[in-house]
Structure 1
Amino acid sequence: MKKKILFLLFTFMVGNLYSMEITLQEAIRKGVSENVNVKNEKITQENTEIMKKQAIKTALPKVKLTSSYTKFENPMNPMDKNSDNMYGNKISIEQPIFTGGKILIGIDTADLLGKQGNYLLEKKEKDAELEITKSYITILKLEKNREVLKDSLEQLKETYKMINAQYKLNLITKTPLLEIDYTMTNLDSQLLELEKGIKISKANLKRLIGMANSETIELKDISIKENQEKILNIDEGIKIAKENGTDVKLVKIGTEFQEMNTKLKRADLFPTIAFNFGIENSSTDIEGIKDKWNWSGTIMFSYNLFDFGNSQDEYRKSKNELKISKNSEKNSLEQLEIGIRNSYYELEISKKLIKAKEQALASSKEQYELDKGRHIAGLITTTDFLKSENNLRQSEINLINARLDYYLAEKTYENKIK
């Protein structure tokens, strides 16, 4: 017996040693840093920084070195036995002078990509935060519901003992026992379903926060304060979202990209001018190649004189696409506003539901205590008592879920406006 107690104590200590308690804030902090989408966006930002540098470098001169060797079938000079060989070197510098604004447009586009990358990172971080919160709330719901069912089952076991004692004394029929037994069996089944849900939900949460599925976690409860004063009203929320909201910024930046594309198509209508300076030499003798250097300077002018109006068509098409983008922007902003309003109304409904569920629970408790006494006194049937017990249990679960739904509705609303 002593060995058995020591073994159980050791098992308990080992279990606690490898069990990790975590708060919602810790889960969010850990999850956001481990989120795949966030990690990928940070890598994309690195590429954007490289693209910025590349865009700036297009305005700088390019230096090229070209070395060549040519072998001819017949000597070019019969008097020179080496004239069937030709060695050549050329160093050239090319500098764009005018490109119709393409270089500046490229730099501005790269800057715009950087801004978009920052907004996308913010969005993916806040979306990851909300996803983790939803997962965390789901587990808390299941665990709290499990506790309600366990308490209910314990109460029913006590009732079963009392009814069984009466049955053994032949004071009642077996029907009440069967009714309670069925209810307890049903509760056992619900508990198994909840256990399965908790395991699956915890596995999902561990995936979100970058933990191995073999690790054990215990979730700390959250503090739910129904403080409406801290929550921005609908008009303030929409104003903040329009001024600083990440989703709004991403919608607007899409139009800015289209404006850049229109400018780029317009730049195609202009000529390009570049300057090239080079020094080169050539010789049939590899030793002579060191001495005979000549320089040359070239200004290159290029202009598409005639392409059947294709460049103009591309420009006109890009202007139409800009109009489409602006129309889409307006529609998207309206949809975002509707989404914010909907989240706010859901939050208000959730708050009112808590009050309703609190009243329902108070009523169920009072009725249960009354029916419990009546049942013991034999004034009501077991069926009526079980109905009262079920109402109490469901009222407790409904209130738990309503409070957690309110918390989630609050976080969803905050997510919409930031």
Structure 2
Amino acid sequence: MKKLLGLLVIISTAAFSRELTLESAIDLALENGKTIKTSELSKENAELNVKRAFKTALPKVTYNGKYEKAEHTTRNMIIGDLEEAKFKSGYTQTIGIYQPLFKGGAITGGIIGAKASKNIADIFLLSEKRDVRLDIISVYSSIINYEKDLTVLESSMKELQARYNKQAEQLNLRLLTKADLLKTEYSILDLEAQITGTKTNLEIAKKDLKLKLMIPTNETLTLKEFQVPENLTAGIDFDRDLNQALTNSLSSRLASNKVDYAEAERMVARSSLLPEVEAFGTYGTAGEKRDFEDGFDNAEWRGGIAVKWDVFKFGSDLDQYNVAKNSEKIENINKDLTSDDIKLSVTRDYKELIRLQQLRDSRSKALEAARENLAIDTERYNTGLISTVDFLLSESQYRQAAVDYNSAVLNYFVAFEKYRSALI
């Protein structure tokens, strides 16, 4: 029975635990992200709008039916010796086919605008995926960083606690003073506060990651550590990357398509100043009658060309056209501003990447020096050559150097991914 209960506990624990790698976390975010799903639906709508825009150039079939009831009967109509009956109600109906021949560029503008809108939706979806990927990398890296810091702090706590116990024995033997013991006790309490803060940050970061990945909060999450390459900047050609970002990045393509969309809007606005021409053919009973007695017995075919032109509208259509022209100019200006922003952001991200690489190297040396110094000071303290204060300072410096190095490595990795994202 005990074995069965133990097996059930193991199965239950496994069912509510999950192990993730950085790659699997990114894949899960791309699969379950709510913002990505909304972008996918927007893309689907944009594709449907392109189909709608093309269909406006095709003929349409329209049925018109009308039933009327009048207050008075119609006048008598005498044909020969027959007198037609009086009617107070009746109906007319037609079915027709209509083919637009000229709409002042509205159809072409609509198609161009729909294509530009589709491209914008595609770019937004790719941008969302890029941003989600970078966000997961940042959160995942912060969790790994907190876990590494916690390992360093707990290891330091274990050593300090052992040192404190030994000092308590030495105090009983009057081999050191109460002040020395209090200094170690203070260091332990300070370290406990750091551990508590790190655990809190770790817990919050894991909850954040679970929300982004749509993982139930009751699941235990284990993240596998990843290796950060030594020299991420080795294959970077800044000039080539900058040119790539200016010509083919998502930001530059978005700006270009916004210009195309504004141009299409101007074409549509211009069409309101021009006449509309369409060919039509109808069959039915829509002709003028002196009574309501209509039916398909006297239906007829009609066809021809129809022209519609709003000749005067107090200039509202011209105002609309001028607004569209100004909007196109605005998007062209925004396109230039986007190029400036790309140059600035890519340059800033590259410089930050170089700085963090140098910082990581310096933190690595600082950690190496602090480790050596702690080993020496531990030996000197054990032989009574240095005070408790000096030893605790050395231990604190080593601990901080380890924490700083962990942070520098992961910040360096995130900065590299941010630089890469700026080029996409």
If the length of structure 1 is used for normalisation, what is the TM-score?
0.92
* SS of residue in 2 equivalent to 1:96: strand
| Equivalent residues of 2:270, 2:321 under 8 A apart | yes
Taking the TM superposition and a 5 Å limit, the aligned residue runs for 1:112-127 are 112-127=116-131
After superposition, the Cα gap between the structure-2 partners of 1:84 and 1:54, relative to the gap in structure 1 and judged at 3 Å, is same
- Aligned-partner residue type, residue 133 of structure 1: I
| Equivalent residues of 1:344, 1:413 under 8 A apart | yes
* SS of residue in 2 equivalent to 1:291: helix
| Equivalent residues of 1:72, 1:85 under 8 A apart | yes
Instruction: Report the equivalent of 1:152.
Output: 156
Question: More displaced, 242-251 or 402-411?
Answer: 242-251
| Equivalent residues of 2:112, 2:260 under 8 A apart | no
Question: More displaced, 5-14 or 355-364?
Answer: 5-14
- Deviation of 1:77 after TM superposition, in Å, equals 4.7
* SS of residue in 2 equivalent to 1:63: strand
- Deviation of 1:374 after TM superposition, in Å, equals 1.4
**Correspondence for 1:227 among 226, 231, 237:** 231
- Deviation of 1:387 after TM superposition, in Å, equals 0.5
Is 1:393 aligned to residue 391 of structure 2? no
Question: More displaced, 271-280 or 114-123?
Answer: 271-280
Taking the TM superposition and a 5 Å limit, the aligned residue runs for 1:213-224 are 213-224=217-228
Taking the TM superposition and a 5 Å limit, the aligned residue runs for 1:120-139 are 120-139=124-143
- Deviation of 1:251 after TM superposition, in Å, equals 1.8
- Deviation of 1:231 after TM superposition, in Å, equals 3.7
Instruction: Report the equivalent of 1:70.
Output: 68
- Aligned-partner residue type, residue 117 of structure 1: A
**Correspondence for 1:303 among 302, 309, 312:** 309
Instruction: Report the equivalent of 2:417.
Output: 411
Is 1:197 aligned to residue 195 of structure 2? no
* SS of residue in 2 equivalent to 1:67: strand
Instruction: Report the equivalent of 1:52.
Output: 50
Gapped runs of 5+ residues in structure 1?
none
Instruction: Report the equivalent of 1:143.
Output: 147
- Aligned-partner residue type, residue 412 of structure 2: Y
- Deviation of 1:290 after TM superposition, in Å, equals 3.5
Distance 1:311 1:88 in 2: 35
After superposition, the Cα gap between the structure-2 partners of 1:156 and 1:210, relative to the gap in structure 1 and judged at 3 Å, is same
| Equivalent residues of 1:83, 1:284 under 8 A apart | no
- Aligned-partner residue type, residue 209 of structure 1: L
Instruction: Report the equivalent of 2:277.
Output: 273
Distance 1:170 1:4 in 2: 52
**Correspondence for 2:335 among 329, 340, 363:** 329
| Equivalent residues of 1:64, 1:91 under 8 A apart | yes
* SS of residue in 1 equivalent to 2:301: strand
Q: Report percent identity of matched pairs.
A: 28
**Could you report, residue by residue, the CA deviation over 1:95-146 in whole angstroms, capped at 9, with x for unpaired residues?**
2110011111111111111111111111000000001111101111111100
* SS of residue in 2 equivalent to 1:50: helix
Distance 1:76 1:102 in 2: 44
- Aligned-partner residue type, residue 94 of structure 2: K
**Could you report, residue by residue, the CA deviation over 1:24-83 in whole angstroms, capped at 9, with x for unpaired residues?**
000001101111111001111111122112111211222222223323344325544452
- Deviation of 1:157 after TM superposition, in Å, equals 1.5
Is 1:290 aligned to residue 296 of structure 2? yes
If the length of structure 2 is used for normalisation, what is the TM-score?
0.91
After superposition, the Cα gap between the structure-2 partners of 1:57 and 1:179, relative to the gap in structure 1 and judged at 3 Å, is same
**Could you report, residue by residue, the CA deviation over 1:262-304 in whole angstroms, capped at 9, with x for unpaired residues?**
2222222221112232122279999972311122224222223
- Deviation of 1:18 after TM superposition, in Å, equals 2.7
Distance 1:285 1:267 in 2: 41
Distance 1:367 1:319 in 2: 71
Count of residues in Structure 1 that have an aligned counterpart in Structure 2 = 416
Instruction: Report the equivalent of 2:169.
Output: 165
| Equivalent residues of 2:345, 2:422 under 8 A apart | yes
Distance 1:69 1:166 in 2: 110
| Equivalent residues of 2:88, 2:292 under 8 A apart | no
- Aligned-partner residue type, residue 384 of structure 2: G
| Equivalent residues of 2:50, 2:114 under 8 A apart | yes
**Correspondence for 1:109 among 113, 119, 129:** 113
Instruction: Report the equivalent of 2:94.
Output: 90
* SS of residue in 2 equivalent to 1:410: helix
- RMSD (Å) for aligned C-alpha atoms: 2.5
- Aligned-partner residue type, residue 236 of structure 2: L
